[in-house]
Amino acid sequence: MKKSDTKLEKLIGILKKMDSAVLAYSGGVDSTLLLNAIKLAGIRSLAVTAVSKTMPEDDYISAKKMAEEMGIRHKIIKTDELKKEAFRKNPADRCFYCKDELFEKLKEIANKEGYKFVLDGSNLDDMADWRPGRKAAKKYNIRSPLIEAGLTKKEIRGISQSLNLPTWDKPSSPCLASRFPYGEPITCRALKQIAEAERFLKSLGFVEFRVRHHGDIARIELKEEGIEKLLSPDVRKAVTEKFKSLGYRFISLDLEGFRSGRMNEELNKKVDRLKTHRATH
């Protein structure tokens, strides 16, 4: 038996002991595997997708479709992080304020409808990255079965592929607020700009990318093959015209290319330095 098979069995065993649960369901690779494991465990469940201005529209549409195909009860709720000044200011712990609202609402649903637990799709790799949302998860006693089962992102994709889940190779799609450098205010207008810009790149066939928002500058991150494509005269002209029509004055291409979690790199370095300092003093 492969190690991944053992971890899947462990995951299903963890879920069976829960009896019932509400899942924060984004439609991504992690939460979709967890949704499928819930189905295999046969427990009473409810998948909840939160819709807000920070979520790409395609994500909640695909989440709804996936839950329906699996035959798991699904509910869409609305969240409004932008009403919180602490979120709009975009501090380093911005994610906490978003997850705090989400988990509070999921707890209310669970308590009202008699579900024992609330789950999220955090995986083992998330423990090594800057994740302020984990603080909110602890606050509301949210359980993360993928972490409890010791599953990494790579293993989740592998198991998802073996289960024929269509999300196994789906690119990560974090909330649109992650396109802003920390400290730059998040506005509804800017979120719409980013959403439209990324939707346009997707329509051109680009797969893994980000449009980072720096005021009137759009910084495009692409995989290497995407960089070559963007630099072709016709595509470059089309992207430039579209982005300028959205309100960007300058459109730049990041020569380092796309890396998920790019905005957290400096924060992670600071955290590592702090840990080293504490360990040596």
pLDDT in tens, 181-213: 999 999 999 999 999 999 999 999 999 999 999
Within a 10 A sphere around the Cβ of 234, how many other Cβ atoms?
7
Hey, what domains does the chain have and what are their CATH numbers? 3-162 (3.40.50.620), 187-263 (3.30.70)
Give pLDDT tens digits for 33-42: 999 999 999 9
The structure's pTM equals 0.86
Bridge-partner residues for 219, per DSSP? Answer: 212, 252
Give the model's pLDDT for residue 3: 65
10-27 residues labelled b (16+ CB within 10 A) or e (exposed): ebbebbeebeebbbbbbb
Residue bearing tokens 């992207």 = 239
Which residues, at least 6 apart from 41, have a Cβ–Cβ distance to it below 8 Å? 12, 15, 16, 18
H helices of the chain, in order, are 3-16, 29-41, 57-70, 85-88, 94-113, 133-139, 145-148, 153-162, 188-203, 224-230, 233-245, 265-280
Low-confidence ranges of the chain (pLDDT < 70): 1-4, 130, 260-281
CA–CA distances in Å: residue 95 to residues 149, 241, 264: 24, 33, 12
Amino acid at 157: R
Which residues, at least 6 apart from 175, have a Cβ–Cβ distance to it below 8 Å? 52, 54, 55, 98
3-state secondary structure of 253: strand
Residue 246 DSSP class: T
Give the model's pLDDT for residue 133: 84
How far, in Å, CA of 190 to CA of 120, rounded? 28
3-state helix, strand, coil in the chain (%, to 5): 55, 15, 30
The answer to whether 85 and 68 are in contact (CB under 8 A) is: no
CA–CA distances in Å: residue 100 to residues 11, 105, 159, 184: 25, 9, 30, 21
